[in-house]
Structure 1
Amino acid sequence: KKVEKEMQKQSNFTTYEMNKKDDTLWSGFIAMDYQGNVKAIVGGRDKKEESRVYNIATDAKRSPGSCIKPIASYAPALDQDLMTWSTLFTDEPITIKVKGKDKKWPVNYSETGDSANWSYQQLTTVEMLTRSLNTLPAQLIKKMTPAYSYNFLKEKLDITTLADSDADYSPVTVGGLTNGTKLEELVGAYMIFGNGGKKYDVTYVSKVEDADGNAIYEKSDGYKQAISESTAYVMNRMMQNVITQQDGTGRYAKLNNTDLVGKTGTSSDWFDLSFVGCTPDYVSGIWIGYENPATIPTNEYQNIGAIWKNVFGDIAENEKHKSFEKTFKMPDTVEKLTYCTKTGKLASNSCYSTATGYYKKSNEPEYCSGNH
């Protein structure tokens, strides 16, 4: 009821002073626990007048944009030890074939939707994710192959809307899927980042009893181990930077008292804005766009993270795991270590620029020689 009330407030859907009232913007929201049990779902911004009507959170298929990156490229690549928290990559395109010709792809986009040139700078994995640059996901997909990423989404994360044509670079790299995704399935895929890599079925029914109290149906507590527990935790901490860092695309969703990790998503031409966030108790997500896809005015609806916070922030701040000390538990297969920002290797005494990162014990970088 609380989420439904917040979804109906026009003021929650803009983070800037608006020139005109716009009630035509669609939105859907869903929140679940880390076993896939749905706790709240709102299928539209209007007051519900009928039953079994079109539900945006479960029926709409729209582009996830960059929300595809953690689940299609970063997580499976980290699981295969293709990189660590601080591996250095060059911000440069890959070369793909388009109509038989070589093309440098993809471009990066700024937060205002403008295309940006490649910097050709060396950046760490976590920096690339924090700023939502498109080049590293493309490089990772090239190493794994688009088919691998496609099968990971379909078989491990239960994304049902994939078309055969989605086993290609654009769909699995930047979310240019033929049919889009359902918000319900996108948010469900993110549960793996808060529960040690386990993918449960998303469900609305936990048990059905007959008149005598006998259970005639109970939800299975079975799950698929989509990624390792250590991969899940390192991904979780990397996505915390998306929220906490000054250049993080999800910084407007930051909560005061509760740990939040997540990712923003913007489709081409700003037709779709999405945010999926994980707090210690819930994984939730919101999508906004128009019924007939059109550019969302970025000066009015730019901060999708802020819109998520408007709708769900109060609930998230009042969960039972309120303090940062009672946050996502680090498994003993992960270590928090200091690394050299110049080389991406573990810091030695002669490293003058360092930062802290999280590493799988099974795949820690070597120590920096100090020769920068």
Structure 2
Amino acid sequence: MLSDRIQSLSPSLTIAISSLARDLKAEGKDVLSFSAGEPDFGTPQKIKDEAIKAINDGFTQYTAVPGIPELLKAVAGKLKRENGLEYAPSDIIVSNGAKQSLFNLFQAVINPGDEVIIPAPYWVTYPELVIYSEGKPVIIDTDEKSGFKITAEQLKNAITPKTKMIVLTSPSNPTGSVYSKEELESLAEVLKGTDIIVASDEMYEKLVYGIDFVATASISEDMYQRTVTINGLSKSVAMTGWRFGYLASPNKALIGAMNNLQSQSTSNINSITQKAAVVALNGEVDAEIEEMRQAFEERAIEAVKLFNEIDGLSVLKPDGAFYLFVNTKEISNDSIEFCKELLQKTGVAVVPGIGFGAEGYFRFSFATDIETIREGISRIKKFVESKKA
């Protein structure tokens, strides 16, 4: 009955863990969940006020598929002001979250057998969407020695005549790694003379700690032409439920193809979200964004310190996002079993590293208050001590 394509998809492990934690909590169990990829802050009031105004003004009908003119102009303005990138409004499409932007891109360019290079650890959705698009994920493993970032040599060795795309994520979910300008330049040098597309997921760009964020497309004219920039407002502006993502590319044919696809699937995104997003993109809530960033940085410092005090665990300080990718290899190289037992015995929910393509780790989200973080790590410490006893 079901298509081969749909049966190739696996459920999201992060969502599965979050759902299990919620179920246990609903049963009355004492559960602390560090599995969600969602800020614990509320959407800034100015954004909510703009949404309320849109409702009261009756802005509740269909819009153009890629977005209303003032929104596309706001995205283009943001990309120029903050990233030094020149895009016309017609180079941009807004979608129901960056996940739909990625789906549209993969469906528009991947043919059966096309290879897509994905550095691991990776966000769980990347390889699934490639497989659904009948492509082949080519995974490049990284580790702590490289800061969980691929090198130019690794990229060069992974490229074949079938390579269609590489997915870069900076800052990274799940590791928090951020590519420097020099690192991006070295990757760009490898790509020169090829037709390889770069899908640059920059969703966490506002959440960086002691390091500058560099947009992939800003590296050179060659990278600008080959890069599809993907971003949104879910993480940096705490708008996860609003479902707002966007992509930008100077390739008119590609933008046209994705516009056609979205017109036949979801059409425009929520009209009210579009009005509200303009406020965020125009810089009207930058002060609130900075407050969130500072809070995340303070939590990261505390959490890294506490984890590295646990005999048997280790973690690198993240340069961005709000996750720690904790190494458990001294204790266990079976991340699913480790996380399952941890949840059952301590009520602490984290996500197994295998879901991100890296065994012997778990992802810990510090998108919650500092006291909860301390209590959660304390429980993890006792659990690890019991395993070593």
TM-score above 0.5, yes or no? no
TM-score normalized by the length of structure 2: 0.29
TM-score normalized by the length of structure 1: 0.30
- Identify the structure with the greater strand proportion: 1
